[in-house]
């Protein structure tokens, strides 16, 4: 079991996204993806504002983060956003904060709900695992790059009979700072519970914006959610 005081709540953001330039700060449903993510952390009833950190790179990202006086801003170095950057370099913030663990949300997933985020945090706090990773449940079939099935296929590819497998959701991450210092993100990914997994039941919450068409669809779904909440 962990003490929430030992956990930092982290968003990594940069201005120069390669696949969708400026996606963190460009208009998104009268706001921005980064604003949505920061607001989500601030609106949580269990996250202490003083333990929220925005690790930002680029003037546009820095300006957005500066608007929020209740969160901590860490300015990332150029080397931390390099394609060749190691885990240790990406999370250079580890040397500048006192916390033992981190919970990170992906600001490219604007549909992630606060309730799911808080369930993830609670599971992490209650666990004895150093790493926790959000996943999506699947009943389907996959092939490798050589065309070989990665699992036994049932007749007619009947997904009702397929065993459950899990796919990375890429929206929620947790791990220890000591592992980061050893260049390990959330775990070795070689053994059970290294890292442990957290199943996100609503796949829409994991909608990850990497391209223009995904941004447009995400904005539409986000606006629908806002209307439903009114």
Residue 195: what pLDDT? 97
pLDDT digits (tens, 9 = 90+) for 162-204: 778 899 999 999 999 999 999 999 999 999 999 999 999 999 9
User: Which residue carries 């068409």 as its tokens?
Assistant: 213
pLDDT digits (tens, 9 = 90+) for 94-131: 999 999 999 999 999 999 999 999 999 999 999 999 99
140 or 63: which leads in pLDDT: 63
**How crowded is residue 228: how many other Cβ atoms within 10 Å of its Cβ?**
7
CATH number at residue 60: 3.90.550.10
Residue 164: what pLDDT? 85
SS3 of 92-124: the string is HHHHHCCCCEEEEECCCCCCCCHHHHHHHHHHH
d(CA 188, CA 203): 25
pLDDT mean over 151-155: 65
Longest dimension (CA), the chain: 58
d(CA 160, CA 164): 10
pLDDT mean over 193-222: 95
* Neighbouring-strand partners of residue 19: none
- Residues 117 and 198: beta-carbon distance below 8 Å: no
Residue 226: what pLDDT? 86
pLDDT higher than threshold 80 for residue 154: no
Tokens of 208: 């990850």
Residue 74: what pLDDT? 97
pLDDT mean over 64-80: 96
pLDDT digits (tens, 9 = 90+) for 33-57: 999 999 999 999 999 999 999 999 9
Q: What is the domain range of residue 154?
A: 4-229
Tokens of 52: 């929220």
Mean pLDDT over the full length of the chain: 93
* DSSP per-residue codes, the chain: ---GGGEEEEEEEES--SSSTTTTTS-BTTB-HHHHHHHHHHH-SSS-GGGEEEEEESHHHHHHHHT-TTSEEEEPPGGGGSTT--HHHHTGGGGG---SEEEEE-TT-TT--HHHHHHHHHHHHH---S-EEEEEEE----B-TTS-BSSPPPGGG-TTTSPPEEEEEEEEEEEEHHHHHTT-SS--SSBTTBTEEEE-S-GGGG----SHHHHHHHHHHHHHHHHHH-
38 or 141: which leads in pLDDT: 38
The total domain count for the chain is 1
Which of 102, 32, 92, 108 minimizes the C-alpha distance to 57? 92
pLDDT mean over 71-85: 95
pLDDT classification of 152: cutoffs 50, 70, 90? low
Residue 159: what pLDDT? 77
pLDDT classification of 18: cutoffs 50, 70, 90? confident
């Amino acid at each position: 079991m962990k003490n929430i005081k030992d956990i930092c709540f982290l968003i990594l953001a940069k201005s120069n996204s390669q696949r969708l330039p400026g996606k963190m700060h460009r208009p998104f449903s009268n706001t921005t993806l980064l604003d949505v993510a920061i607001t989500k952390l601030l609106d949580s009833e269990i996250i202490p504002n003083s333990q929220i950190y925005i690790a930002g790179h680029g003037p546009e990202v820095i300006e957005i983060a500066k608007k929020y006086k209740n969160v901590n801003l860490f300015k990332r170095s150029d080397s931390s956003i390099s394609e060749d950057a190691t885990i240790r370099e990406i999370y250079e913030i580890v040397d500048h904060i006192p916390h033992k663990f981190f919970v990170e949300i992906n600001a490219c997933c604007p549909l992630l709900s606060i309730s799911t985020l808080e369930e993830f945090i609670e599971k992490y706090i209650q666990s004895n695992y150093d790493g926790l990773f959000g996943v999506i449940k699947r009943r389907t079939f996959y092939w490798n790059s050589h065309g070989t099935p990665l699992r036994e296929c049932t007749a007619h590819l009947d997904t009702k009979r397929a065993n459950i497998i899990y796919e990375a959701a890429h929206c929620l991450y947790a791990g220890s700072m000591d592992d980061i210092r050893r260049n390990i993100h959330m775990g070795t990914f070689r053994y059970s519970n290294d890292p442990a997994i957290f199943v996100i039941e609503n796949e829409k919450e994991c909608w990850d914006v990497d391209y223009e068409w995904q941004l447009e669809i995400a904005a539409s779904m986000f606006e629908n959610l806002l209307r439903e909440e009114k």
